Structure 1
Amino acid sequence: MLTIIDKYILKRYLATFSVMLLLFVPIGIVIDVSEKVNRMIENKVPLVEIAWYYLDFIIYFANLLFPIFLFLSVIWFTSKLANNTEIIAILSSGISFTRFLRPYIIGATIVSLTALLMGFFLVPKASEGFKNFRYTYLIGNGREEMRDNTDVYRQISDNEFIYVSNFNPQTQTAFNFVLEKFKGDQLEYKITANRIQWDAKNEYYTLYGYSKRTVGELDDVIESKEVSNAIYTFSLEDLTPTVYVAETLSLLELNSFIEKERAKGSANINTYLVVLYKKYSIPASAFILTIIAVAVSSMKRRGGMGMNLALGILLAFTFVFFDKIFGVLAEKSSIPPLIAVWIPNIVFGALAIYLLRRAKR
């Protein structure tokens, strides 16, 4: 049962967080417009697409920076409570510091669940619109940079592997094509071609500079043709999904996509796992950041609210820095993605426990 004090603090928690979002999101839009307006004019972007882009931008931006907004909002209104001696009055009435935290934890639960559901369903759609617009109208070579088209290696079945050095999605052509089929641990045959192109009209692949080497017990059989047609079960476009594809998928779609990419032997599997694990770790950070914010700002300081806000901004950006650094390490190094993604929460969770114990004293 919520008491009057619980309702008062919870109302301030949610209201301040909402106001913080409403204040900073328009600032983000103004900055983005000032940076991109020339490019939009040059590319003659329709106003309707710009409107949809900024709708997606609001959701994407709010989700990206929600830990900072939450942390600063909790520090802001808790510092005001401390400066008005409201916290001293609450604790002097016999309420323990742990009990005082209850409305904060309830507020963190509401924010965390909202962020979790948005990350599962709403944010992926917003990310897709946001990224598509940027790659179509705002980034250098546009759509050419949407895919990682060089040195593509995939496992297309339990015993078949393919490699292409370069893929052109516009012409549906891949270069330096290699297909290897194994029987157990032994190579059964190997197909190579200088170039492979999808023929949409006839629904088959045309291989130029075709060569097939079938491994025999004593002698290998080599077959060569200038041009050869073949039917394969894979799609060239599926071999090179957009670089940000994981960010555009809902939870169930992302899980299914990761399983398929793992079966194909995708080199980007760690990138996709980082996106999956962050859907859980970022909402969980709401509890950790809330506890740290309360512990830091619940007592009066000589510098007043300014000192608390300065310390809060430092801690908030340190958290975001940790999150980005370990996210990159998970993608590029041998650190398991699950551990790398949760390291910021583990480190700041330990800090939260330490600061909470100090605040209780």
Structure 2
Amino acid sequence: MMLLLFIPIGITVNLAEKIGKILEKEVPFGAVAQYYLDFTIYFAHLLFPIFLFLSVIWFTSKLANNTEIVAFLSSGVSFWRFLRPYMIGATIIAAFALIMGLFLAPKASKGFNEFKYKYLKNNSNIIQTKNIYRQINDNDYIYVSDFTPSTKTGRNFSLEHFEGNALKYKITANSIKDNDTSYRLMTYTKRTFGAHEDIIETARRKDTIFPFEAEDLTPEEYIAETLQYNDLINFIEKEKRRGSSNIGRYLVVKYKKWSLPVSVFILTIIAVAVSSIKRRGGMGVNLAFGITIAMIYVFFDKVFGVMAEQSSFNPLFAVWFPNIVFGILAAYLLYNAKR
């Protein structure tokens, strides 16, 4: 019910913000409808634990205000028995959130991001990727100082070919452009290292073929979100071999697929522990406390996620740190509520 109430509000606010660009670019109605379907799934998955948290606080506070929880516990029902239906419900919802995160959300994320980059952003002159250094296969390593995906053009390109530990040749160029069937190199130089002397080949322009695609050079920042779990695992392993600088970003996405269902249980316990006590301020006090806890949780999740993506901060610790902190808080609140 919380989702049904808030998702239309989110769609309305988003549409009001984006309607100018949608009309300007004459986006087909079908594409807009698909975008908002993907938008719904994408944000419902992200905010699922928070909506669950507020929902549990809402109806448990209603029970407490009507003195029904006092009646439960006074009749000899233990607090653990009172908590059992909540945990059964949390298990069902956590299983749904896990399946959604592994299979449904990636597809929605792909459609959501592709629409945004195609119609809502102007990327024609934006360099999205810098200082790309990758291992293409067992023998070849490439470097590009920056790459513009919209024009498929890179600057300061180099390719080094090794056999064993020996560098056999190195190709450099001021620029490289993907022409779909081949690559065009400007100010081309190839230096082949020999036993006694080197062979240097130069050309103002050279068209050639390389064993990589432009997409291999510059996967979109959001690509990890669009992959189902098995594909994501294989993608991360491939990017590790290539020396990608975005491994932290990809690992954050991987670990969040498992941390999100666990957060369902933690937030459920906190919500029950906080709202099962009848307070003078009634439901309003419980909801205010719950919203504060939810905002702190989101803050921790975002800050540590960005730290893992942008630095050498451990992604596993960054993703699970909010669950660890709030898990301790849940245990403390549950202990006091039980007493």
The residue number in structure 2 matching 1:212 is 190
Moved more, 37-46 or 98-107: 37-46
Q: Distance in 1 between matches of 2:267 and 2:95?
A: 15
How many angstroms does 1:210 deviate by? 1.5
Q: Which runs of 5+ in 1 are unaligned?
A: 1-18
Q: How does 1:64-213 map to 2 (within 5 A)?
A: 64-139=46-121, 141-142=122-123, 148-200=128-180, 203-213=181-191
Q: Which of 214, 219, 222 pairs up with 1:241?
A: 219
Q: Are the aligned partners of 2:128 and 2:149 in contact in 1 as well (CA < 8 Å)? A: no
Q: Are the aligned partners of 2:123 and 2:150 in contact in 1 as well (CA < 8 Å)? A: no
Q: Are the aligned partners of 2:144 and 2:156 in contact in 1 as well (CA < 8 Å)? A: yes
The residue number in structure 2 matching 1:14 is none
The residue number in structure 2 matching 1:356 is 334
Per-residue CA deviation, residues 189-243 of structure 1 (Å, 9 max, x unaligned), is 211012233444xx43332222122334554332222333433211123211112
SS of match in other structure, 2:161: strand
Q: Distance in 2 between matches of 1:161 and 1:97?
A: 61
SS of match in other structure, 1:211: strand
Q: Distance in 1 between matches of 2:260 and 2:285?
A: 26
The residue number in structure 2 matching 1:285 is 263
How many angstroms does 1:302 deviate by? 1.4
Moved more, 289-298 or 27-36: 27-36
Q: How does 1:17-28 map to 2 (within 5 A)?
A: 19-28=1-10
Q: Which runs of 5+ in 2 are unaligned?
A: none
- Say whether residues 1:274 and 2:256 are aligned partners: no
Per-residue CA deviation, residues 313-349 of structure 1 (Å, 9 max, x unaligned), is 0001110111111101111122211111000000100
Q: Distance in 2 between matches of 1:353 and 1:268?
A: 35
Q: Distance in 2 between matches of 1:172 and 1:296?
A: 55
Q: Distance in 2 between matches of 1:169 and 1:34?
A: 29
SS of match in other structure, 1:225: strand
Q: Which of 41, 53, 67 pairs up with 2:35?
A: 53
Moved more, 264-273 or 30-39: 30-39
AA partner of residue 154 (structure 2): A
Q: Are the aligned partners of 1:193 and 1:208 in contact in 2 as well (CA < 8 Å)? A: yes
With the length of structure 1 as denominator, give the TM-score of the two structures: 0.89
Q: Are the aligned partners of 2:224 and 2:232 in contact in 1 as well (CA < 8 Å)? A: yes
Q: Distance in 1 between matches of 2:125 and 2:89?
A: 44
Matched pairs, number: 339
Q: Distance in 1 between matches of 2:221 and 2:111?
A: 14
Q: Are the aligned partners of 1:194 and 1:207 in contact in 2 as well (CA < 8 Å)? A: yes
SS of match in other structure, 2:202: strand
The percent identity for this pair of structures is: 62
Moved more, 284-293 or 189-198: 189-198
AA partner of residue 74 (structure 1): V
Q: Distance in 1 between matches of 2:179 and 2:272?
A: 63
Q: Distance in 1 between matches of 2:117 and 2:153?
A: 21
Q: Distance in 1 between matches of 2:114 and 2:70?
A: 52
SS of match in other structure, 1:95: coil
- Say whether residues 1:30 and 2:12 are aligned partners: yes
Q: Distance in 2 between matches of 1:336 and 1:135?
A: 29
Q: Distance in 1 between matches of 2:214 and 2:204?
A: 21
Q: For the structure 1 residues 168 and 334, does the alpha-carbon distance in structure 2 shift closer, same or farther, using more than 3 Å as the test?
A: closer
Q: Are the aligned partners of 1:172 and 1:237 in contact in 2 as well (CA < 8 Å)? A: no
Per-residue CA deviation, residues 148-193 of structure 1 (Å, 9 max, x unaligned), is 3332221101232101123344444332210012344443321101
Q: For the structure 1 residues 53 and 306, does the alpha-carbon distance in structure 2 shift closer, same or farther, using more than 3 Å as the test?
A: same
Q: Distance in 2 between matches of 1:260 and 1:137?
A: 30
With the length of structure 2 as denominator, give the TM-score of the two structures: 0.94
Q: Which of 35, 42, 47 pairs up with 2:24?
A: 42
Q: Distance in 1 between matches of 2:166 and 2:7?
A: 58
Q: Are the aligned partners of 1:148 and 1:241 in contact in 2 as well (CA < 8 Å)? A: no
Q: For the structure 1 residues 172 and 34, does the alpha-carbon distance in structure 2 shift closer, same or farther, using more than 3 Å as the test?
A: closer
Q: For the structure 1 residues 228 and 134, does the alpha-carbon distance in structure 2 shift closer, same or farther, using more than 3 Å as the test?
A: closer
RMSD: 1.8
The residue number in structure 2 matching 1:3 is none
AA partner of residue 64 (structure 1): L
